[in-house]
Structure 1
C-alpha cells in the first residue's frame, strides 16, 4: 500500500470496494497489451530485446502524459519477477529515499531485486539524483524513471550514463482507437456517432488517460447517439500541453522559428497562434521574432528587422488582443522574405578569428596620434584618407599587422544581398588594383 510519500512496494491486487476510474480499470496486465509503443516494446525494440535476453537495465522513460510510462514500469517488474516500488519525486525527500533504499538493500540480501519507479524524476535535485548511483552500480535497484521533460536538460550526466533513455511517443489515432474499442468491449458501446467518436479521439491529443477520462464522461451523457457538437460542448477537453519553461515552450518556439526559416507563412502563423493560445507572453514572441529577422533574413531584406521592432512597439502601445495582430503580420513578412544567414555566419566567423588572434593591435597607420610623441613614433603615418581617394576608397589594410586578410561575409544571391555581393566584388577589384591585398 502507498505510504505518505508515495512509495508502493509490491502492491496487492487493487481493492474493488470503491469506484475506480475507467482509465485505471483499463490498465494493461501485460506488456503485449500496451499500445502505441511498439518501437520500444516490440522484438526489435530496446525493452523487447532486454526482456528476451533476461537482462533489464535502468531506464529513463521520457514522453508526454498518458502514454504508458507508469504501466510499462509496473509490467517490467512483473515480467522480470522483481519487486516493484513506486515513488513520486514531487513528494519524496532524502529521508523517504533512505527508507526505500534500506528496504531495497534488505530485499537484495535475500536474493530479491527491486524495480524502483520514480515518477517525475526530473523534480529531484542533484543530490537526490546522485543518491541513486551507488545502488544502481551495485545492482541493488533497477531504476526506471519517468519524465515529461527533456532528460538531457533535467537529469545529471552521471545518472544518464547509467541508464538508457527511451522516448515514448504520443499515441496516434490508431492506438487511441484501440484503447476506445477495449473500453467499449468492457463497458458497452459509447452513445456517440462515428463522427463524435473521431472527435473524442482528437480531443485526447495523443493522451490515452485523457481519452479514457473523456470516454467516461461520454458514458454519463446518457442515451444517444450524441454528435460531435454535443461532446465539444459538454465534455471537458484535455488542456493543451504547454510549459512556459519546459519542452512545450521550447518545442513550439523551435517549430515557429523553423517554419519562418522554411518560408511557410501558414505553418508560421499556426505555431504563433498555438503559443498565444497557450498563454505565452507576446513580448517573448516579439523578441524571438526579431531574432529570426537578424539571424535568418539579415541583409537579404534589411527592412525585416525594422518590421519586427515596429510590430513589437505596436504591441506595447495597443496591448492585447489587437497588438498580437502586429506580431502575426511580422511573422508573415519574415516567412515570405528572402532568406540569408550570411551576416550571422560572418559574425560568428569574425568572433572565432578575434578569439584566435588574441591581443593583436591595429596597424599603426590607422591609430590616432593625439600627442607629439605618438606622431614621432609613427602613429597615423601613411594613413590614406578615403574621401581623398578615387571612388572614396583607398584600399588600405585595416587588419592587424601580420594577420592575413580574411573574408567573413559572403552575401547570397537573394534579395538585397545581391546588391551587397556586387559591392563586395567591386571593392575587392579596386583593392587588387591599388595593391591593398
Structure 2
C-alpha cells in the first residue's frame, strides 16, 4: 500500500525532478511565491502568507477544483515553516496507514519535530475515519492540511471543520494558465501553436493547470514541424477547443455576456452568445453547467421549471450528443431568457449562510428535537411538539428558532411569476402566527 501511494504524491526530497519526469512535475513550484492563481491566499495579506510570516500554521482544508495547486501548496507550506511533511491519500490509504502516520508523527514530536500531515481527497474518508483525526489535531501531534474538491460543509464532519480553517482555491484564470505555458516554453521551447491556438488551448483547460501542462506535453512529444491553428489543435488533441474570433473575445467574456443577456431577459442576444460559444467549439456541458446555475441564481422560484428544463437539456445532450443534442441547449437557453426573474433564493442563501456563521452551534429548541431514547425524553427532547397536521388549517405557528435567536427573514420573494403565489402563502402563514401568538398571550 505504501509503495503504491508513493507514486501518487510528489517526492518530498529536495532537488530538481528527473529529466524524464512529466512536465507538470518538472514545473512544480519551488516556493509559495511561484504558485500561480492563488495570490489571495499565498500573498503577504493572504491567510497562508500571514501564517508563514508568523512561522506557525493552523490546520486547514484546501478546497478547490482539480489542478489548482492544492498538493503543491501543502508541500511548500511544510518547507516554508520547517515542518516534517507526511502525506496520505483517502483513495489509497486505510486505517493502518493512518495509524502509522500518527505514530510516526508522535515519535517526531518527541524529538521536537512538528509534522504537517497532508491528506489528499480527505472527503473520501468516512465519518468515523474523519473523527480519528480529532485527538491528534487537538493535541498538536499533527497540523492537518486536507485537500478536497467537494464542498467541505457537506463532505466533512462539523467537528473536524471546527478545528480547521477552510481556504478556497480559485479555478486558474487565463492569466495564470498563460503563465504556466510561459514556464513550460522556457523549459522545453516554444509550443507548435499559432497565437489563436494557444489561447484556445488555455480556454480548453477550464481552469485546470495540470490538464493544461499534460496537453502541452502531448504537443511537445509529437515533435510537430509546423504550428497548429485552433481547428488543427482540436483535431490533434481529439478535444473540442474553443476558437474565438479575431477580436479574441475570451472564454470568460463570452460566458459573462451570455449570463447578463439571460438576466436581462433578451432571448435574441442570449441565443447569439450561446451560438458564439458553441460554434467556436466551447464544451457544451460547460455551457449547460452555467445555464443550470443561472436557473437557480437568477430565476429561482419565480419559475421552478427553469431548473428542470436545464437538467432535462443536460440529459438530452448526453443522450443525443452533438450536433443533435445542442437544440436542447438552445431550448434551455430560451426558456431561461424568457422566464420571470428573481434572485430571492440566491440572496436568501447568502443571508442564511452569513447568519449560520455568526450564530455558531446554537441548538434548536428542545420541542422539535427527536427523542428516540428514554434519556432524551427525560431531558425534554420533543416535549410539547405541535404536530402541524393536527392543528387548525394544518399549521401550528410554532417557533422553530434556537433559544436566544430572534426569527429572521432571509427569503423575500418578488411579485413575479410563481413567487407571487409564494408571497400569498407566506403572508397567510404570518397572519396565522400572529393570531396564534395573540391567543397564547
TM-score, normalised relative to structure 1: 0.63
- Residue 119 of structure 1 and its aligned partner are, at CA, apart by 0.6
C-alpha distance 44-359 of structure 1, shift in aligned 2 (>3 A)? same
- Residue 13 of structure 1 and its aligned partner are, at CA, apart by 4.1
Residue in 2 that maps onto 1:170: 171
Residue in 2 that maps onto 1:143: 144
Is this contact kept in 1: 2:301–2:419, CA < 8 A? no
The worse-fitting range, judged by mean Cα deviation, of 190-199 and 48-57 is 190-199
Deviation per residue, 1:365-401 (Å, 9 max, x gap): xxxxxxxxxxxxxxxxxxxxxxxxxxxxxxxxxx99x
C-alpha distance 225-164 of structure 1, shift in aligned 2 (>3 A)? same
Deviation per residue, 1:166-196 (Å, 9 max, x gap): 1101111111111111111111122222122
Residue in 2 that maps onto 1:128: 129
CA distance in 2, matches of 1:294, 1:49: 39
Is this contact kept in 2: 1:10–1:84, CA < 8 A? no
CA distance in 2, matches of 1:238, 1:129: 40
Residue in 1 that maps onto 2:235: 233
Note if 1:75 corresponds to 2:76.
yes
Pairs within 5 Å for 1:317-328:
320=320, 325=327, 328=330
CA distance in 1, matches of 2:41, 2:125: 26
3-state SS in 1 of match to 2:118: strand
- Residue 79 of structure 1 and its aligned partner are, at CA, apart by 0.5
Deviation per residue, 1:303-326 (Å, 9 max, x gap): x89xx89x98xx99xx85778846
TM-score, normalised relative to structure 2: 0.62
Residue in 2 that maps onto 1:54: 55
Residue in 1 that maps onto 2:96: 95
Is this contact kept in 1: 2:302–2:419, CA < 8 A? no
Residue in 2 that maps onto 1:407: none
- Residue 228 of structure 1 and its aligned partner are, at CA, apart by 2.0
Residue in 1 that maps onto 2:162: 161
C-alpha distance 77-267 of structure 1, shift in aligned 2 (>3 A)? farther
Is this contact kept in 2: 1:261–1:296, CA < 8 A? no
CA distance in 2, matches of 1:44, 1:196: 36
C-alpha distance 194-320 of structure 1, shift in aligned 2 (>3 A)? closer
Is this contact kept in 1: 2:234–2:241, CA < 8 A? no
Q: Following TM superposition, where does structure 1 have runs of at least 4 consecutive aligned residues deviating by more than 3 angstroms?
A: 1-11, 13-18, 236-240, 256-271, 273-281, 319-331, 337-342, 355-362, 410-418
Note if 1:296 corresponds to 2:297.
no
3-state SS in 1 of match to 2:3: coil
Task: List runs of 5+ in structure 1 lacking aligned partners.
Answer: 241-255, 299-303, 343-354, 363-398, 401-409, 422-437
Is this contact kept in 2: 1:214–1:236, CA < 8 A? no
- Residue 5 of structure 1 and its aligned partner are, at CA, apart by 4.3
3-state SS in 2 of match to 1:61: strand
- Residue 334 of structure 1 and its aligned partner are, at CA, apart by 5.2
Residue in 1 that maps onto 2:3: 3
CA distance in 2, matches of 1:326, 1:15: 50
Task: List runs of 5+ in structure 2 lacking aligned partners.
Answer: 243-257, 345-385, 397-412, 425-441
CA distance in 1, matches of 2:241, 2:149: 15
RMSD: 4.7
Is this contact kept in 2: 1:9–1:86, CA < 8 A? no
Is this contact kept in 2: 1:28–1:71, CA < 8 A? yes
CA distance in 1, matches of 2:197, 2:226: 11
CA distance in 2, matches of 1:414, 1:360: 30
CA distance in 2, matches of 1:112, 1:416: 60
C-alpha distance 239-12 of structure 1, shift in aligned 2 (>3 A)? farther
C-alpha distance 9-140 of structure 1, shift in aligned 2 (>3 A)? farther
CA distance in 2, matches of 1:202, 1:184: 18
Residue in 1 that maps onto 2:39: 38
- Residue 357 of structure 1 and its aligned partner are, at CA, apart by 7.4
- Residue 214 of structure 1 and its aligned partner are, at CA, apart by 1.3
